[in-house]
Structure 1
């Protein structure tokens, strides 16, 4: 098993940075800060040797979009726009237009039970459909759901979800990996690439500490899982065997994605949310983005099929 260590990048800490996404067309990285309602875009510098012999990268912030509600995730659109899961809505945003001119493509119909909910993690499947999950602000069990958005509208795939999180597909698109965080495990579904239908849900990997948050899949089919409360990213083979452990000097690790021209740099997001003053002093880089080069490459980023 590989043992690796991630090092911080340059952006200032966020409260709950999430959803890193590599834009192959513009060669830039996007990510969100959920409670602040922010979508960031940055350039990733070439690697250089650090003082400890490790390779370091920096992120140069290029632009930030600000929304009036929490932003759970951002995706690329085939048209060149962005698709933002914000509050209860899916918003199509032209980057050269004001956020106020965003077009709502659909909105989730939350139960009328007085329990506030919001969008959380989201990802685009190999056919260009968006899967996005929700959760209650107070993390009430069973209050969330998993949705699919495509040209035919919004469909509920799963209900009674607590904290809908990581989503990723096997290289051939026949498997969907999914984390409902409080379960403490990542599940795998059989996935129909033609219809987007789910079936045959079963446990894929059970964590020994912390809970699974965001995840990504590499070109060899390995599943890289951010561990909230564990200060690490774990990689599992397609058979569910532990392949690598990436140490992150921040306990609340939220997500990860492969970035860079060769998609061989693992970018890891973290959070300060939920840390008390003592933990914040012990983790001065919490909330920042981290990188490492784990000897794997990511899959190309599929855009949402909006044309």
Structure 2
């Protein structure tokens, strides 16, 4: 059970998500989605910064030649190392009204994957997209309800995906020729009492770490979908996880307070904080966007 002693940043935001380790600066980066903010903290010194993008931001990832790529409300945005936009937002084809981008991540081949959700939670109204280095965007999966965690196996051959609306963690099979999705298998099916599957990451041993929104925990699963362990938190809304720190041996966990009642906030004073722990395994360095 994580406690106050495991808090890295207290009150980090209302809807903290998408934690990402910056290998070059040895800092942790995460977004506060609806505030349109990107937050950066040095876990050693505690030095922090907050960058406002002027639009809701669901996820960011490093670029291979410096700077960042972001999934913002209505598409994709390239930013330099100081978080300044480089050009306009690249729209996603067919993105419906009343939707916004949510979680995303880069695959080992330099593509940035991110998906959408509907503000009114309409079932099947969203989609998963892929943003390529040449600036093109393609829809790769339709009928999504709440696109969330995305990760890959250490060798890059397996893609893992969460559509929170399905209540499951799935493995997607990709066509190696064009990257299209040609198969889908459910690895983990969550019960309502477990909470809703949210963000995820994969460690160096190929095990999956899954945050459970409303479940107050992070679970580690084998590549076959078997439960290995559970890390409890003192808050309900656990949003995502990533590895970082020296040797990528620290696990960082983002949480939220958005939507909690005053009574719940009183009961959960650490809601919206970023936590860290050392689970005894190492993570993988984040893949970079080739564009």
Distance change >3 Å, CA 297–CA 193, structure 1 → 2: farther
Do residues 104 (structure 1) and 101 (structure 2) align? no
What does the per-residue CA deviation read over 1:149-207, in whole Å, with 9 as the maximum and x for residues that have no partner? 11341110101100000000011111111011021110111235664332220100112
**Does 1:14 pair with 2:13?**
yes
Instruction: Quote the RMSD (CA, aligned, Å).
Output: 1.7
Structure 1 range deviating more: 116-125 or 183-192: 183-192
Equivalent residue, structure 1, for 2:68 = 82
Once the two structures are superposed, residues 273-300 of structure 1 have per-residue CA deviations (whole angstroms, 9 ceiling, x without a partner) of 1211111110000000011111111112
Task: Tell me which residue corresponds to 1:39.
Answer: 38
Structure ranking higher in strand proportion: 1
Q: Which range moved further: 124-133 or 182-191?
A: 182-191
1:129-278 equivalences in 2 (<5 Å): 129-152=111-134, 153-192=136-175, 195-208=178-191, 209-278=194-263
- In structure 2, the CA distance between the partners of 1:118 and 1:205, relative to structure 1 (3 Å rule), is same
How many residues are matched? 286
SS in 2 for 1:258: strand
Deviations 1:16-68 (A, max 9, x none): 000000011211110000000000111112xxxxxxxxxxxxx7243221022
Query: 1:24–1:261: 8 Å Cα contact kept in structure 2?
Result: no
Aligned-partner Cα distance in 2 for 1:13–1:279: 17
Query: Could you tell me the TM-score, scaled by structure 2's length?
Result: 0.93
SS in 1 for 2:59: strand
On the 8 A contact 1:13/1:285 being kept in 2, the answer is: no
| 167 and 197 in structure 1: CA distance in 2 versus 1, 3 angstrom threshold | same
- Name the CA distance, whole Å, in 1 between partners of 2:33 and 2:104: 12
Distance of 1:222 and 1:89 partners within structure 2: 31
C-alpha distance in 2 between matches for 1:213 and 1:82:
23
Distance 2:152 2:95 in 1: 29
Q: Quick one: distance in 2 between partners of 1:25 and 1:163?
A: 32
- CA distance in structure 2 between the partners assigned to 1:266 and 1:111 by the alignment: 33
What do the CA deviations read for 1:72-115 (whole angstroms, capped 9, x no partner)? Answer: 11110012111111111211111336x3x432362113456xx4
Alignment TM-score, normalising by the size of structure 1: 0.89
Distance of aligned partners of 1:225 and 1:193 in 2 relative to their CA distance in 1, 3 Å threshold: farther
**Which of residues 104, 122, 127 is equivalent to 2:109?**
127
- Cα distance in 1 between the residues matched to 2:215 and 2:243: 20
Identify the residue that residue 116 of structure 1 maps to in structure 2. Answer: 98
Q: Indicate the SS of the match to 1:233.
A: strand
Shift in CA distance, 212/65, structure 1 to aligned 2, threshold 3 Å: same
Q: Tell me which residue corresponds to 2:54.
A: 68
1:286 aligns with 2:271: yes
CA contact (8 A) 1:120 1:133 kept: yes
